[in-house]
Amino acid sequence: MGSTETGSVAGQLVGRDRELGELAKALGAEECRVVAVGGIGGIGKSALVASFSSWARGNGVSVVRIDGRDTEPTPAGVLGAVAAAAGTDDTRGHAVAARLGGLAERVVLVVENYERLRLADGFVRDEFGPQLPRSVLLVLVGRDRLVMPWFTDPGWVGRVRSIELGALDEPASLAYLTALGLDERSARSTFRATGGHPLAMTMAAGLIAHGTDPGTVQATTGAVVNALAADYLATVPDPTTRTVLEAASVLRRVTESLARALLPDHAPSENIDRLQALPFVEVGVDGLVIHDVVREAVAKRLATIAPDRYQQYRQAAWIQLRAEMAAVPRSMLWRYTADLLHLLDAAELREAFFPTGRQPLVVEPARAHDTDSIDSIMSAHCKPQEAEALRAWWTHAPHTFAVCRNDNGDLVGFRIVAARHDISPDLAEADPVAAVWAADLEHLPASAEVLMFRRLLDIDAGEANSASRASFGLDLKRTYMEMRPRLRYLYNLGANPDEMQWAPMLGFEHREELTVDLDGQTFHTWRLDMGIESVDGWLARLAADAIGIARDAPDVFDQSNHQLSRSDGERIDLTPLEYGVMNALWSRQGHPVSRADLLTEVWGYDSNATSNVVDTLIAALRRKLGPDRHQIETVRGVGYRHQPNKPATPSQGPPAWACCGLTDIHHQGLGPGKDAVHYGERGT
């Protein structure tokens, strides 16, 4: 079939002349700064933009493209992705904008799958977009319409255009299907069954090419695609490809390493080739991507008819992703966190980071002219003592307020979220909640960043669930992403425990000692310790719990601070060599690492060198691990393995020499009192 771009055949776009004309017209219009290309999944948005980009390049326009699926949904993530695509290492907003403007006389910046960047939409609209030179046309491609401020904010009025894609009409559909190789009769039958939906027509044509009649039952687009996906699994192209597609359906992206982990008895490169040949699979920045509509249909079917296999695939994926996460740079960490979140069936958590519904309300920092509106909401939903406490926040820390506005610009809710340094002595004196939080903060590590969710109130619903609460929650996830990897603790306050039933499921602990009474109303604090791996580690643990991965031991390796964080609460500094060995073991959790590999990676020795420095250093690491020493296992004849979830083995106690960290020296015939080469012989 030649192309994974639904709606195009052999690079030729079918049935989109009007939309192409609108894009070309927008490029030539000086007043147009942004074009939003929208439509449901599989309708041909990518094909349209790809065709437009090809035309634009042929006319001397420079086209830069990023994909929301591969971009961390934070300001830093967006700037980093655009900078890389534009060929610069400078990720400052003005520098990225200047780089784009200097590429050519006219430039198009395409952001595909923009719905994946909802957490960063405010930044793109309010900060980055206005910095772009007039020579740059921003094309936002996604399933949802842009929020109203894109059209109503003074800086954007009259400068944003929308193109909404629908199904292809009958003449265009017949031309498309004929170009895919169908005869006229089959083309008409397929058009009636699919309603002109490009992805559905592509899949149906593929079934017919393999001798399968997809039928002529008319249904909604989603039902048609689901039925076609089931047909693919049931009939074509072969049993091995069906197995590979089923396994891949649990993944956000497919790589050779993940394919090997899920299907160890298959050749991973062959699995990749099989997937890539399917008409609904495309090559992404860091792996193959199955079209969302198809992947979701296949995964749902697998979970229904083979739940055990579905669970096994997710567990294998989690283990592989966690092993890879330990070795990737900070700039790539979001991709792995997104992969882990994708493994979740828990809709509420996935929705928090990958929202599927359009958010009608806009969250932005509160402004001075919002005083009366905020005070009015306080008065309506708070008793006098609490209202005065919240007014103290407006007086002493107004920057902690954010507000929700509807399409008319009216303020419909506010929230207060603070960092540890925002609680001043004056604020602690005026607000009893701030006072107990400030006292509790004294017991937390000074290096750990903290977010405190003081209050959220909707103009109508107060503290109860509301559209503003959902929008604030989404904005808070953006803050989580921005503060990685420093963020560790979250405080959440609520007056109604019944509305906090979600908190324990996400790891929050109810802190009785932080309870405060205001006007006879009791306010409860729930505190979350994300752990030394910050947001990414917390989400990884939630994913592990959701898919049945046993976690009996805490994470002991603090990569960012070069420390061990033991289960007894002690934090132990590591020397550079100790860090190197621990990092090598950590990055291959559950897998043995040979002494030769450790010598090469950490010391830089030839892999054939003979030295006991590795064993001596392992002994030192075990000594520092103390109660968690059992997590580093000796693999006879190979080397060592880190097992973070391995519980300690009950015994009558280790021999004295083991307590001195000499376990491995003893096993090598160098018992207590014997000489050994110091592990730091090349310096620590």
pLDDT in tens, 224-251: 666 666 666 665 557 888 899 999 999 9
pLDDT in tens, 248-268: 999 999 999 999 999 998 899
pLDDT in tens, 89-112: 999 999 999 999 999 999 999 999
Provide the token pair at 433: 């909640």
Exposed / middle / buried, residue 21 (Cβ in 10 Å: 0-12, 13-18, 19+): exposed
pLDDT in tens, 575-602: 988 988 988 887 676 678 888 888 887 8
What is residue 654's predicted lDDT score, i.e. its pLDDT?
34
What's the rounded mean pLDDT across residues 601-629? 80
How far from the centroid of its chain's Cα atoms is residue 36's Cα? 23
- With tokens 């390493």, the residue in question is 257
* Out of 52-56, 132-136, 275-279, 365-369, least confident range: 275-279
What is residue 602's predicted lDDT score, i.e. its pLDDT?
83
Name, in order, each residue with C-beta under 8 angstroms of 417's C-beta and a sequence gap of 6 or more. 400, 402, 451, 452, 453, 454, 476, 479
Phi/psi for 268 (5° steps) reads -60, -40
What's the rounded mean pLDDT across residues 559-563? 76
State percent of the chain over pLDDT 70. Answer: 83
What is residue 335's predicted lDDT score, i.e. its pLDDT?
83
What's the rounded mean pLDDT across residues 340-354? 66
Helices of type H across 605-681: 613-625, 656-659, 663-667
Provide the token pair at 353: 């980071």
What's the rounded mean pLDDT across residues 143-152? 88
Fold of 362-529: Aminopeptidase (3.40.630)
Provide the token pair at 514: 């932080």
How far from the centroid of its chain's Cα atoms is residue 198's Cα? 28
Question: 653, 596, 602: which is closest to 629 by C-alpha?
Answer: 653
Residue 140: band (very low, low, confident or very high) from pLDDT cuts 50, 70, 90? very high
Question: 589, 591, 588, 581: which is closest to 682 by C-alpha?
Answer: 581
Greater confidence (105 vs 549) lies with 105
- Domain range list for the chain: 17-164, 171-351, 362-529, 557-667
The answer to whether residue 440 scores a pLDDT higher than 90 is yes
Exposed / middle / buried, residue 357 (Cβ in 10 Å: 0-12, 13-18, 19+): exposed
Query: Element (H or E) spanning 36, and its range?
Result: strand 34-38
What's the rounded mean pLDDT across residues 114-136? 92
The answer to whether residue 63 scores a pLDDT higher than 90 is yes
Distance separating alpha carbons of residues 253 and 236, to the nearest angstrom: 22
What is residue 611's predicted lDDT score, i.e. its pLDDT?
67
Distance separating alpha carbons of residues 456 and 321, to the nearest angstrom: 36
Provide the token pair at 208: 């017919």
The answer to whether residue 682 scores a pLDDT higher than 60 is no
What is residue 553's predicted lDDT score, i.e. its pLDDT?
47
Question: Taking the CB of residue 655, how many other CB atoms lie within 10 A of it?
Answer: 12
What is residue 101's predicted lDDT score, i.e. its pLDDT?
95
Tell which CATH classification among 1.10.10.10, 3.40.50.460, 3.30.70.1170, 1.10.3450.40 matches the domain 557-667.
1.10.10.10
Level-2 CATH architecture, domain 17-164: 3-Layer(aba) Sandwich (3.40)
Name, in order, each residue with C-beta under 8 angstroms of 264's C-beta and a sequence gap of 6 or more. none
What is residue 377's predicted lDDT score, i.e. its pLDDT?
96
Query: Element (H or E) spanning 199, and its range?
Result: helix 198-209
Q: In Å, how far are 102, 324, 567, 571, 631 from 555, measured between CA atoms?
A: 47, 16, 8, 12, 10
Residue 223: band (very low, low, confident or very high) from pLDDT cuts 50, 70, 90? low
Residue 114: band (very low, low, confident or very high) from pLDDT cuts 50, 70, 90? very high
Residue 537: band (very low, low, confident or very high) from pLDDT cuts 50, 70, 90? confident
The answer to whether residue 330 scores a pLDDT higher than 80 is no
Strand partners, 13: 8
Contact between 401 and 416 (Cβ < 8 Å): yes
pTM for the whole thing?
A: 0.66
Amino acid found at 663: T
Greater confidence (272 vs 333) lies with 272
Provide the token pair at 649: 């083995």
Residue 10: band (very low, low, confident or very high) from pLDDT cuts 50, 70, 90? very low
Greater confidence (3 vs 473) lies with 473
Q: Which of 75-84, 183-192, 571-580 has the highest mean pLDDT?
A: 75-84
The answer to whether residue 563 scores a pLDDT higher than 90 is no
Distance separating alpha carbons of residues 582 and 563, to the nearest angstrom: 10
What's the rounded mean pLDDT across residues 129-158? 92
* Out of 110-114, 132-136, 464-468, least confident range: 464-468
What average pLDDT does the structure give for the chain?
Answer: 82
Provide the token pair at 445: 């590590």
Strand duo 639-642 + 632-635: pairing: antiparallel
Residue 413: band (very low, low, confident or very high) from pLDDT cuts 50, 70, 90? very high
The answer to whether residue 123 scores a pLDDT higher than 50 is yes
The answer to whether residue 666 scores a pLDDT higher than 80 is no
What is residue 659's predicted lDDT score, i.e. its pLDDT?
29
- With tokens 């109660």, the residue in question is 627
What is residue 551's predicted lDDT score, i.e. its pLDDT?
55
Q: Three-state SS for 141?
A: strand
Residue 657: band (very low, low, confident or very high) from pLDDT cuts 50, 70, 90? very low
What's the rounded mean pLDDT across residues 21-31? 93
Greater confidence (552 vs 304) lies with 304
The answer to whether residue 678 scores a pLDDT higher than 50 is no
Name, in order, each residue with C-beta under 8 angstroms of 416's C-beta and a sequence gap of 6 or more. 390, 393, 400, 401, 453, 454, 455, 456
State percent of the chain over pLDDT 90. Answer: 39
- With tokens 């790809």, the residue in question is 50
Strand duo 449-458 + 487-494: pairing: parallel
What is residue 671's predicted lDDT score, i.e. its pLDDT?
32
End-to-end CA distance of the chain, in Å?
A: 59
